Each structure stands twice: as structure tokens, then as C-alpha cells.
Amino acid sequence: MTMWEPFTESARRAIVLAQDVARKYGRGRYIGTQHIVMGVLEIDEGPLLPLFEERDLSLDAYRERLARESREREPGPQELEFTPNAKRLIEGAFVCAHEWKTSYIAAEHLVAALAMLPKCNAARYLIELGFDVQSLATAMRGQLTSAPAKRVRTPRVGSLRRAYELEKLTDANVGSDPVAWLKVWIADVAAADLIEPNAMSLSTVDENGQPSSRMVLLRGFDERGLVFFTSYLSRKGAHLAHNPQAALLLWWGELARQVRIEGTIEQISEEESDYYFASRPRDHQLSAWASEQSEPLESRAALERRVDDYRVRFEGEPVPRPHSWGGYRLQPQRIEFWQGGKNRLHDRFEFVKDGAQWRVQRLSP
């Protein structure tokens, strides 16, 4: 369930939508095969939707069925989990891809895998609608093997559009504690199994007021703030030494969410930095010694030679943390949650620290 690299964007999107369907109709209990099929039906240019339209089948009827079935069950835990059949369906997509000699997992593979699970909820429902799941699998294979190559055209940037129609943020579900809500969103991201879900943009300002941004990885988060690691002698380190004010931006496009965080920066304790450094892979530890981050580098070969030199130097012993490398913690003073909304009516909630409390207000999109 962690091998997401070969998934096409449409297949990945179908799984993300399945999670959203599970929250909406399954009361946050589990992700089943019906949720995955509903996700496939809702993606743009999905392979199953034309077959529904040919038979004049209503997606609203499918949604009503999911809602009705969820009402008949007891609500479960808040954490979403894949049912055994849903896991088998995704594994079946890998089997289909292997048998059809494709190097990727497409939404068509997810649909075709239903033929391997004829007694699962989604397959049974499609059979009730008059589909033959074996013929459906054959049709999906035909779509992948006979479709003509599409001409790739570079669109004008100004014409790019995307409809945001996932969850909504309301005063009731956001609450009054932004730290608690951020934990909820980070848990959602972990469940969605996105690529680099902890990547965030860090913006700093130099002594001349020139801003600079770069991507770093979130490595810790609690009520005290958000932690990342870097070289204290890097460009960002120099900026923070001069002006310990910074901004972070987390963006999860698949979920149509972003979080903007502004606040003050402090170095974490040496003990905390030592603990994290010791948990890193050994080659990453050696890289921290070899790289004089942000400084001019004569060649790639020179950098690799320095890594080899430090590998010899520390052979047979633990690699200590360089004193010039460690963690920073951004202590939030302002946190804004953004959830993409239909027709650009996005939901935005701003939390501003006021002493020990947070003030919250809704912002216009």
C-alpha cells in the first residue's frame, strides 16, 4: 500500500477521492471497494463514467446508495483504513498492470481488478446494474492498449483551471485551536499517502529586506511549533541569524489544501538536534559533514570526494553531529488554513496569537 510511484495521476486521484467519499458517506470509518469505484467515477476523463452514461445510469443513485448503507452501520473510528477487499483491489491493479505489460498503474487497472473480486460490494453493485465484470475488465484493457497516442500540447498558463470540490471548512469543524486542526490535516495527508507530504516552503528575509524561499522538510510538530533541520551556516541560517522571523507554506494539491504559518524562529536544543541527527541514515550524516551548504562548489566530484574522506574518518564509529548543523523551530504567531472550494469560493480561516490564546476569523477567498 506504499508503492505509489507507478500510479498515474488519474489513479492516484481516484484513491484520494475514495478517501473523501469514505469521509462523506462512510462516516470516516473505512475505505471500501465502493468508495474506490466512486472515486474512479468522479475523476476527470475517468474510464468508467462513459459506460455509466451510455446506460443512462445516475451517479446520484450511487451516492444515495453509499449514504443509505453507511446509515445502516454503526460509526467507526475517526481514522480511515482500507478494508481487506479494497487492499486486494489495489493489489489486483498491480497484477493487471503486470499481465498487460504496462509500466504504470492507471484507473483502468483499478476497474479491471474488480473481476478478481466478483463478490465484493462494488462488483456486486455493478453486476446489479447489468455489467459483466469480466467483460468490463476486457474493455478496460482495450482502452489502455488501443487508445491512440495523445498529442501533448503546452497550455497557456493563464488558461489553466482546476475545480476544487472536496471538503469544506466550517466554523464548527475548525474549532478554536489551530494546532489541533493542523494535526488533523497532517493525519489526513499521511492517510492519503502523498509524495513528500511533509515538504514545505520556508521564506526568510536578508539584511536588505530581500525575501528568499526554498523547500525544507517538516521533521517535528507540537504545541511549541514546527521543526526543520539545516546548516546554521547556510544562506537561510544567515538570514535567520539576522532576522529570526519566517514564514512556512504547506501545500497539498491532491487535497486542495494549504496552510500558511508565520512566526518567530529559535534554534532547538543541542540534545534535540543530536537525537534527530543520530536517527538519520549514515550517508545522510556524512553528507552534512561534506557539504558547506550554499557555498560555491568547484565540482560534483569534489563533493563526492569529501563524502568519501569523511566515510574513512568516521569508519567504525558513530558519526557525530556537526556543530554547524541542527534544528530550528518556528513558533507560530499566525496560521491560516485554506481549503479549495467550488467556483473559487474557497474557505479560509485565520488564527492569530493573542497572548496565550488564539483569535480566529473567516477570510474572504
Domain co-membership, 94 together with 184: no
Domain end (from 90, 116, 148):
148
Q: How far is CA 84 from the centre of its chain?
A: 23
Residue with cell 522571523: 245
Residue 144 confidence (pLDDT)? 80
Q: Which three cell numbers stand for residue 88?
A: 486486494
90 inside domain? yes
Domain co-membership, 175 together with 322: yes
Domain co-membership, 29 together with 178: no
User: Rounded distance, CA 103 to CA 202, Å?
Assistant: 35
User: Rounded distance, CA 290 to CA 179, Å?
Assistant: 36
Residue 149 confidence (pLDDT)? 42
Please report the DSSP string for 92-152 in residue order: HHHHHHHHTT-SSB-HHHHHHGGGG-TTSHHHHHHHHTT--HHHHHHHHHHHHHHPPPPPP
Q: Residue 205 to residues 55, 66, 81, 202, 327: CA-CA distances in angstroms?
A: 59, 51, 42, 10, 18
Q: What share of the chain is helix, strand, coil (3-state, %, to 5)?
A: 45, 20, 35
Residue 89 confidence (pLDDT)? 92
Domain co-membership, 144 together with 178: no
Q: Residue 260 to residues 246, 338, 341: CA-CA distances in angstroms?
A: 11, 8, 17
- Average of pLDDT values for 102-109? 87
164 inside domain? no
Q: How confident is the model at residue 157 (pLDDT cuts 50, 70, 90)?
A: very low
Domain co-membership, 205 together with 327: yes
State how many domains the chain has: 2
End-to-end CA distance of the chain: 36
- Structural domain that includes position 293: 171-363
Please, what is the average pLDDT of the chain? Answer: 85
Q: Which three cell numbers stand for residue 70?
A: 453507511
User: Rounded distance, CA 170 to CA 5, Å?
Assistant: 34
Of the candidates 352, 336, 364, the residue with the CA atom closest to the CA atom of residue 250: 336
Alpha-carbon dihedral angle through residues 15, 137, 7, 76, given to the nearest 10 degrees: 20
Domain co-membership, 53 together with 187: no
97 inside domain? yes
User: DSSP character for 38?
Assistant: H
Which residues are marked as active site? 344
Domain co-membership, 109 together with 217: no
Residue 308 confidence (pLDDT)? 94
Domain co-membership, 332 together with 213: yes
Instruction: Tell me the three-class secondary structure of 78-108, residue by residue.
Output: CCCCECHHHHHHHHHHHHHHHHCCCCCECHH
Sign of CA dihedral 169, 251, 11, 55: positive
Instruction: Pick the most confident of 62-76, 99-113, 185-199.
Output: 99-113
Residue 154 confidence (pLDDT)? 44
Q: Is the predicted pLDDT of residue 114 greater than 90, yes or no? A: yes
Domain end (from 87, 113, 148):
148
Residue 153 confidence (pLDDT)? 45
User: DSSP character for 31?
Assistant: B
154 inside domain? no
Domain co-membership, 135 together with 231: no
Name the 3-class secondary structure at 15: helix
CATH number at residue 129: 1.10.1780.10
Q: Give the bridge partners for 335, in sequence order.
A: 261, 351
Domain co-membership, 129 together with 196: no
Residue 197 confidence (pLDDT)? 86
Q: Which stretch of 27-31, 187-191, 337-341 has the lowest confidence by average pLDDT?
A: 27-31
User: Rounded distance, CA 4 to CA 145, Å?
Assistant: 22
Domain co-membership, 253 together with 354: yes
Residue 151 confidence (pLDDT)? 40
Flag whether the pTM goes above 0.95: no
159 inside domain? no
Domain end (from 148, 183, 199):
148
Q: Give the bridge partners for 359, in sequence order.
A: 352
CATH number at residue 243: 2.30.110.10
- Average of pLDDT values for 138-148? 76
User: Rounded distance, CA 96 to CA 105, Å?
Assistant: 9
Residue 230 confidence (pLDDT)? 96
156 inside domain? no
3 inside domain? no
Domain co-membership, 134 together with 237: no
Residue 167 confidence (pLDDT)? 66
Of the candidates 278, 275, 249, 252, the residue with the CA atom closest to the CA atom of residue 262: 249
Q: Is the predicted pLDDT of residue 98 greater than 60, yes or no? A: yes
Higher pLDDT, 37 or 326: 326
Q: Is the predicted pLDDT of residue 28 greater than 70, yes or no? A: no
pLDDT, one tens digit per residue, over 263-307 is 999 999 999 999 999 999 999 999 999 999 989 989 999 999 999
Name the 3-class secondary structure at 36: helix
pLDDT, one tens digit per residue, over 160-186 is 455 555 567 777 777 788 998 898 888
2 inside domain? no
Element (H, E) at 21: helix 9-25
- Considering the chain, what percentage of its residues have pLDDT values greater than 70? 88
